Amino acid sequence: MDNLLTNSTVDALQLYYTSCENGVEGSSGFQVQAISDGIEFTEREELKKLGAYEPPRDLPSAPSKEDIARLFPVAFRNVKLHSGKWAMTRSEYTGLDFSGMRYGNFFTHGLLLDSMGHDIWPVDIYGWEGWCNSYVEGQHALSRISIIPDKERYSLQELERFLNKNKDRILLIQMMIVAIFLGKETSRKLVIKEDEIDNGLLWIACIQKSFPAHMQDSLSCSSYQFHPGTCLDVNVIYGENDFRLDETEKEYQFYVVDLVDNQHSKIDGNDNYYAITISKMLYQNPEKLNAFHLFSSFFTYSEIGEHLSSMLKVFQFIEGEINVFEKDSDFNRILKFISEYTKKEKIDYILTSLAPAVNKMIACGNYENTEQFIYFYMDFFNATGDKAYKGIVLEQLFGLFNAVYFEKKYSENNFLVIEEKVRSNLRQYDQDFSNFFLLTENIERFKNEISTLNGEETFIVLARIFKAMRLFEPDTPLSESDNAIELILLSVQAQKEMLYKFPWKVIDLFDSHEEKVNIVYTIFQEMKEITENKEITSFDLALAVQSLADYMQTLFSVETNRYYDFINTLCGYEICWDLVYEEWKSRILRHHKKLYLFTEYQINVLDSNSDYREKYQTLMKEEYWKSLSDIEKNDQAVSWITMDEIKYMSEDSFFNELFYRANQKIKFERDGRESLELVKKMQECNIQNILFEPNKLVLFDALFGEENIINNSEISKALKNIDENDYRVFIGLYLPNAMENMGKYESHGDIIKALFLPRYKKYFIEAYCSMFEQNGVKELSQTESIAWRFWVSITTRDENYKIYKYIHKEIFECLGTRFSILPDKQYKSIKDAEGLSRSQKIKLNDILEIASSKKKSLFNSISKSLKKFPFFGKTTKGKR
Amino acid sequence: MGELIKGLLLIAIGLAILAITVLLGAVYGAGISLYNYAFALKNNIKPEENVKITKGLEPAKKNYFFEKGFQDLINVINNNWEKNIDSSKDCFSKAKKNNDNPIEPIMWWMAGISVVVYGTIFFIIISLFHFLVLGGFLLLLYLSFSIVWFIERAYLFFHRFFAACPYCHTKTTLPEYLCDNCGAIHKKLVPNEYGIFYHTCECGHRLPSTFFLNRGRLQARCSNCHQFLLREHIESKRLFIPILGGPSAGKTTFMFSAIRNLIDHKAKDLGFETEFIDKIAESKYNKIVNDLMSGHLPLKTVDNIPKAFNLALKKNNATKWLLYIYDPAGEAYSNADNLSSHYYSEYMSGMIFVIDPFTFRGVRQEYKNQLKINKKGIGPSSLSADDALTRTILAMEESFGLKKTGKIQKPLAVVITKVDALELEDTIGNKAIDGSVKDKSFAKHKLIKKQLLEWGEAALLHQLESRFSNFRFFSSSALGRIPDGSKKDLKGYDVLEPILWIASTVSDEEFRYE
């Protein structure tokens, strides 16, 4: 920062105010003795008021000239008048007045300045050599003069020396600065009680120079004050005067820094930052304070108020003395301060000076305020259109990007939020931001540091870079970019320890299907290479392939056509076969319509007579088979058998399982084409050695076979392990036919024995009884006659007696029902049947009794039904 | 017939059930609306939580009934209305849900309607009542504090208590008071909407808001110049006496000689004890008296508007009167504008107009030769008495709104000083008065009046007679001798009479003037 301070001069009008016999006011006594033309009446009166002097009461009443020079303080005062001009006075006690009899006279040399000058403090004018302390009798006109301020007498170096004389002084000046700030809010003035008359001016100099020159407007000072009623902002008092400085005054009326009795007011501000920092500068580093004063001229802010600490912090931030702001509110205030108060011509300087500091701050890892800075610059860009600010925004964002992904010190979410806001505010943000990614040094940095990223971060960084590449060279495929390929390979290398976690979604960053294949090929080749180089194990590779295969599932989860194109292209590279096979395994495992998928894959990939098919088809079928559920396997078995696919299968166990599962799928339906075809295909196969339980082929044949000559024992075997449903259907169809077709009654028992399964007794009885319902109420059929004769003939000696006994009640019931609906003649013939043994007659009687009871109940139910009709009801009633 | 009766009976029972249901619903609804109001009252009436103190206004909490009470009422109304709407919605939703029992929905519908109807009625009635209660209290409080305020004002007026700033001389009925806990400035610490007897400062501290509750114990400050005031500057009977006159007329010397005389001698005669009410005044007095005692004149007065000198006149340790006396620099008379900012004219007890006899052309002519020799010692004023008086009258006209021909009612003591010089004592001093005369003061007045005419000051005399309804001439010597550089005591004489004469016009009983 260049030192812009200059040795400027200021013009001033003058006035002498003293007690004299002849002045410009026409009488003797205190009056203006001489005055420059141009001083207005009110300005004159204000200068007189400012220049009034009363000596400390404890000093001699009739002092000698030596006493005056030694003991009586000179009062320098400055104040900005309502007219906007500066009034400055130097008042010196002169003792006797013109009469030679009366003490209390003083001489005031007053100056009226149009302006102070941007680099001049009032105290610099205090040191001016041209101050007068006497007048020329009879001369009442004073000229306009040019003042050369004395900047050396109260230079910052001098003040540094003054403060360093006593270690307490730094705290005292700090307290005084705080009091100045507080005074602006509370109207309490600062009163410094001193006993050394030289120190007062130095304190005032310290206070004035704690604030920039252009802020002195609001800092009126009096280096000696007698009356509290005419106090200025800063007042030094000596000896006995009209200040009481009791507790009330100290607590409520003034901020008192009592350097004589060391009894100060309680001075405690809310924000002492400015006071602490500036007092330190005054004490230790005046050059820095000088730089701050110069810096302050870049702003229009000229009050002594809250924004001063913001100004100071901006200065310190640019100077690199602070690199973080503690509170957000504080920081916002600072940014607001810059926006509101920076001079137009300096805004560029401030912002461009600030930017490196912000970048440094980011580089140091302090990101707390970056967000606000970015928005801040963004707003400036939007307001001014100056691209430099946009550049700063992008640079800072890029810094944050690095902080998120490479330094891992900033929240990604925060970054994304900021970026989104910037994106919505800056046109062509993406294009501009991409610039940073394509800068050679950044690309090189990525290449060097990509090994520090984890999978997800790698993806984000690559995505950004690729997006940038695409924005700038939309016609060049990414896969043709050496940088892109190199970055991908470097990423693979970087992730080799945990390759299975590699962000495979980088593949999707490539647009076309060819590019994707190419990049997969490239990646896979690299993986193989590092495996061959033993940088990773085969197991690691397998894991990685598995993970890549898994990813490929998702890659084309929707666009299946593109998927097969992709796979077929990949199949063109033998090196990728493993991957394709793994992908298929992964896919088939996950797919819930495996059969469909397998078929589709068969059509799209394996149907072509490729080498890949030759190598992998059988393996794939087996893998596929393993992946199926029981139900799916059954369906697949039927499919393969009916489609004659089994001829490609050699393995016995697999072959047997297929038929076994196909057997399960046979259904006993007369018109079931599927089952018929399946049975046909199965019978064509060499399956004699396969033990089916139940053997549905035999049962199907028994039901629907052309010859129907299957003997009972075969059927009994075939029924082994038959399930409930199959048995119900089978027995329902087969038993009535079997009974119809038997020759003699002895066979009746054989059929029962062969077909009866105790666990399905209910279905057997249903099927058996259905035989009696086919002939209506007429005569008994031959089968029915055989049946009742069979059932009355059973004895304990029968081989299957246990079975008969187990079901005879239900059968008797069935027979009784049948007999009950026979015509009477037929019924009687059965009742009177001949050739029956006694025990057989007893059993017959049992059946007949059931029939009789059934008949009665039949009659009852009929008569009940008839009674519902009125005609029959009345008749019945009448008979009664 | 029997069936008809049966049917009618059934209809009657049905209607009765319906009526009971409706009644139940209505009662329930009414109960709910009452409950809602009670709930709203409980939640929103918070007198202890005061409203935010607006910056720039009085740093005190307003009485509940003046602001917060009405805010609470609005909150109660809003809250109650919201609750009623919620309750009715609740009833209606219950009515829709309960379909099994045909009675219950009717009851809930009725309850819902009832909450709206009764809620509105209760809301209007109770809000009105609430408003009236608040308004009643407000009126009561307004009346109360107005009465207390009026009594206080009457008391203060009767006792002539008001704040007169000794720095800027501004008169105010009420100064600003500082909270003795936090120092906050209370500009209206009187019975008002912030409290009748006490105001609660923003810091929570209770401050007495009336004279009767010892408000005077608080630190006061002038509302014009913000200088701190002592209690005596407000709550005491005062004798306001400005000492006027041109430069070098001897005003300061006269003032301190008179005070010295009062402290040393006359106060005792009058039955008073004297006391300085602040150390600064005492120090200043001591300094000047010491200077006089060692033969030095007091330092020249610099301020056009100097701080008043206060001396308490006590009886039985209680301040009976406070002497409020001050002398603006003679230079103030060089311009009438300077004088117009002297606010004392509003409340002064009387004025002392000090005239240097050596400003009279006749005197200067008469003692031409002696003056040449003793000019340094006598130090004649450069402003003529006539001019000084004219400027004073101009300032009065401005302050009082006095007509150009109107008379000033306040007593004016015209003091011809420096009678020790040359042979003036023999002309207008005590020596010139016949010792047998009873009313020597009046005799002196007549003598001086006559002498002024002889000295050719008819214009001055005319001005006094035409513009002042009560004035009296005095002669005195503030120093007792012509200062000659020797260290002999400069002790004045006949300096207290003008002050006593003015005081006697205020209180003849306590300030016997003979």
What would the pLDDT profile of B322-377 be if each residue is shown by its tens digit? 998 887 766 665 555 555 455 566 688 888 998 888 888 777 777 777 777 666 66
CA distance A286 to A289: 5
Using DSSP's 3-state secondary structure scheme, residue B322 falls into strand
Q: Which residue in A327, A330, A329, A351 sits closest to A339, CA to CA?
A: A351
- B263-291 burial, b at 16+ Cβ within 10 Å, e below that, comes to beebbeebebebbbbbebbebbbebbbeb
Q: Considering only CB atoms, which chain B residues are within 8 Å of A105?
A: 300
Contact B219 A248 (CB under 8 A): yes
Which helix (H) or strand (E) segment holds residue B323: the answer is strand B318-326
- B229 shares contact with chain A (CB less than 8 Å): no
Q: What is the DSSP string of A371-408?
A: HHHHHHHHHHHHHH--HHHHHHHHHHHHHHHHHHHTS-
Centre a 10 Å sphere on the Cβ of residue A755 and count the other Cβ atoms it contains: 22
Contact A29 B382 (CB under 8 A): yes
Q: What is the pTM for the complete model shown? A: 0.65
What pLDDT does residue B377 have? 61
DSSP state of A794: -
Interface list for chain A against chain B, based on CB atoms closer than 8 Å: 19, 21, 25-31, 52-55, 57, 61-62, 97, 99-106, 187, 227-229, 240, 242, 244, 248-249, 251-253
- Token pair, residue A330, equals 């504080």
Question: In Å, what is the CA distance from A40 to each residue of A54, A85, A91, A831?
Answer: 25, 11, 21, 158
Give percent of chain B with pLDDT exceeding 90.
9
What pLDDT does residue B1 have? 61
CA distance A462 to A484: 8
Strands B163-164 and B351-355: unpaired
- B298 shares contact with chain A (CB less than 8 Å): yes
- B397 shares contact with chain A (CB less than 8 Å): no
What pLDDT does residue A5 have? 45
Distance from CA of B392 to the nearest CA of A (A): 16
Task: Over range A556-562, report the average pLDDT.
Answer: 70
Q: Give residue A633's Cα distance to chain centre.
A: 46
Degrees to nearest 5, angle at CA B456 with B451 and B462: 85
Contact B334 A26 (CB under 8 A): yes
CA distance B348 to B400: 12
- Token pair, residue A246, equals 């009791």
Q: Considering only CB atoms, which chain B residues are within 8 Å of A55?
A: 299
Centre a 10 Å sphere on the Cβ of residue A345 and count the other Cβ atoms it contains: 8
Q: Average model confidence (pLDDT) for chain A?
A: 84
What pLDDT does residue B363 have? 79
pLDDT at B38 over 90: no
Contact A104 B379 (CB under 8 A): no
Of the ranges A382-391, A522-531, A771-780, B337-346, the best mean pLDDT one:
A522-531
* Rounded (10°) CA dihedral A377, A378, A383, A386: 70
CA distance A790 to A783: 10
- B343 shares contact with chain A (CB less than 8 Å): no
Name the closest residue on chain B to residue A186, using Cα atoms.
Answer: B184
What pLDDT does residue A707 have? 63
What pLDDT does residue A744 have? 56
Using DSSP's 3-state secondary structure scheme, residue A77 falls into strand
Question: By the 8 A CB rule, do A109 and A140 touch?
Answer: no
Give percent of chain A with pLDDT exceeding 90.
20
Which helix (H) or strand (E) segment holds residue B369: the answer is helix B368-378
Contact B183 A252 (CB under 8 A): yes
- B453-470 burial, b at 16+ Cβ within 10 Å, e below that, comes to eebebeebbebbeebbee
A492 contacts: CB under 8 Å, gap ≥ 6: A499, A502, A523, A526, A527, A530
Q: Which residue stretches of B159-266 are H helix? A: 251-261
Mutate which: B227, B248, B253, B335, vs A, most A CBs within 10 A? B248
- Token pair, residue B43, equals 């939640």
Question: In Å, what is the CA distance from A84 to each residue of A46, A80, A112, A213?
Answer: 13, 6, 10, 16
What pLDDT does residue A874 have? 44
Q: Considering only CB atoms, which chain A residues are within 8 Å of B299?
A: 54-55, 61, 102-104
Query: Long-range contacts of range A706-710, CB-CB < 8 Å, 24 or more positions apart?
Result: A708/A741
pLDDT band at residue B52, thresholds of 50, 70 and 90? low
Count of alpha carbons within 13 angstroms of residue A843, beta-carbon side = 19
- Token pair, residue A789, equals 């004769």
**What percent of chain B is helix, strand and coil (3-state, nearest 5)?**
50, 15, 35
What pLDDT does residue A173 have? 94
Using DSSP's 3-state secondary structure scheme, residue B474 falls into strand
Q: Considering only CB atoms, which chain A residues are within 8 Å of B297?
A: 101-103
The residue assigned the tokens 């501004």 is B170
pLDDT at A234 over 90: yes
Q: Considering only CB atoms, which chain A residues are within 8 Å of B298?
A: 104
Which helix (H) or strand (E) segment holds residue A561: the answer is helix A560-571
- B299 shares contact with chain A (CB less than 8 Å): yes
Which helix (H) or strand (E) segment holds residue A222: the answer is strand A221-222
Task: Over range A292-321, report the average pLDDT.
Answer: 88
Amino acid at A291: A
Name the closest residue on chain A to residue B281, using Cα atoms.
Answer: A242
Distance from CA of A42 to the nearest CA of B (A): 11
Question: In Å, what is the CA distance from B267 to each residue of A285, A383, A812, B313?
Answer: 64, 79, 153, 8
Amino acid at B126: I
Contact B302 A30 (CB under 8 A): yes
- Nearest by CB to residue B287, choosing from A57, A248, A252, is A57
Which helix (H) or strand (E) segment holds residue B104: the answer is helix B103-158
* Cross-strand bridge partners of residue B474: B415
pLDDT at A560 over 80: no
- B486 shares contact with chain A (CB less than 8 Å): no
Amino acid at B485: G
Contact A229 B168 (CB under 8 A): yes
Centre a 10 Å sphere on the Cβ of residue A55 and count the other Cβ atoms it contains: 26
Contact B483 A101 (CB under 8 A): yes
Q: Average model confidence (pLDDT) for chain B?
A: 81
CA distance A729 to B41: 81
The answer for A214, left when phi > 0, alpha when psi is -120 to 50, beta otherwise, is alpha
pLDDT at A698 over 50: yes
What pLDDT does residue A158 have? 92
pLDDT at A862 over 70: no
What pLDDT does residue A3 have? 42
pLDDT band at residue B98, thresholds of 50, 70 and 90? low
Q: Considering only residues 300 to 319 of chain B, which have any Cβ-Cβ distance to chain A shorter than 8 Å? A: 300-303, 307
Contact A57 B377 (CB under 8 A): no
pLDDT band at residue A248, thresholds of 50, 70 and 90? confident
User: Which strands, in side-by-side order, build the sheet including B238-244?
Assistant: B273-276, B309-315, B318-326, B238-244, B351-355, B412-416, B471-475
Task: Over range B175-200, report the average pLDDT.
Answer: 90
* Cross-strand bridge partners of residue A147: A10
pLDDT band at residue A614, thresholds of 50, 70 and 90? confident
What would the pLDDT profile of A754-771 be if each residue is shown by its tens digit? 899 999 999 999 888 888
Question: By the 8 A CB rule, do B458 and B477 touch?
Answer: no
Distance from CA of B383 to the nearest CA of A (A): 6
Residue B214 phi/psi, 5-degree rounding, is 65, 40
pLDDT band at residue A328, thresholds of 50, 70 and 90? low
B108 contacts: CB under 8 Å, gap ≥ 6: B25, B91, B92, B94, B95, B98
What would the pLDDT profile of B393-440 be if each residue is shown by its tens digit? 777 777 666 777 778 888 999 998 888 877 777 888 877 777 777 778
DSSP state of B266: I
What angle separates helix A387-405 from helix A412-425, to the nearest 10 degrees? 160
What pLDDT does residue A878 have? 38
Q: Give residue B144's Cα distance to chain centre.
A: 21
* ipTM over 0.85 threshold: no
Stretch among A604-608, A790-794, B474-478, B495-499 having the lowest mean pLDDT: A604-608
What angle separates helix B2-44 from helix B103-158, to the nearest 10 degrees? 40
- Nearest by CB to residue A252, choosing from B219, B248, B331, is B219
A503 contacts: CB under 8 Å, gap ≥ 6: A455, A456, A458, A459, A462, A491
CA distance B227 to A253: 8
Contact A30 B331 (CB under 8 A): yes
Contact B280 A244 (CB under 8 A): yes
pLDDT band at residue B441, thresholds of 50, 70 and 90? confident
Contact B382 A104 (CB under 8 A): no
Using DSSP's 3-state secondary structure scheme, residue A189 falls into strand
Question: By the 8 A CB rule, do B194 and B60 touch?
Answer: yes
Q: Which residue in A489, A484, A498, A494 sits closest to A524, CA to CA?
A: A489
pLDDT at B266 over 90: no
**Contacts A–B by Cβ distance under 8 A:** 98
Contact A61 B301 (CB under 8 A): no
Task: Over range A17-26, report the average pLDDT.
Answer: 86
Of the ranges A617-631, B45-59, B492-506, the best mean pLDDT one:
B492-506
CA distance A846 to A852: 10
What would the pLDDT profile of A489-511 be if each residue is shown by its tens digit? 888 888 888 888 888 888 888 87
pLDDT at A685 over 90: no
Contact A61 B379 (CB under 8 A): no
Question: By the 8 A CB rule, do B360 and B456 touch?
Answer: yes
Task: Over range A651-673, report the average pLDDT.
Answer: 80
A689 contacts: CB under 8 Å, gap ≥ 6: none
What would the pLDDT profile of A708-728 be if each residue is shown by its tens digit? 566 788 888 899 999 899 999
What would the pLDDT profile of A182-219 be if each residue is shown by its tens digit? 998 888 999 999 988 889 999 999 999 999 998 998 89
CA distance B197 to B219: 18
Distance from CA of B249 to the nearest CA of A (A): 11
DSSP state of B408: B
Question: By the 8 A CB rule, do B318 and B275 touch?
Answer: no
Residue A822 phi/psi, 5-degree rounding, is -75, 150
Contact A27 B334 (CB under 8 A): yes
pLDDT at B320 over 60: yes
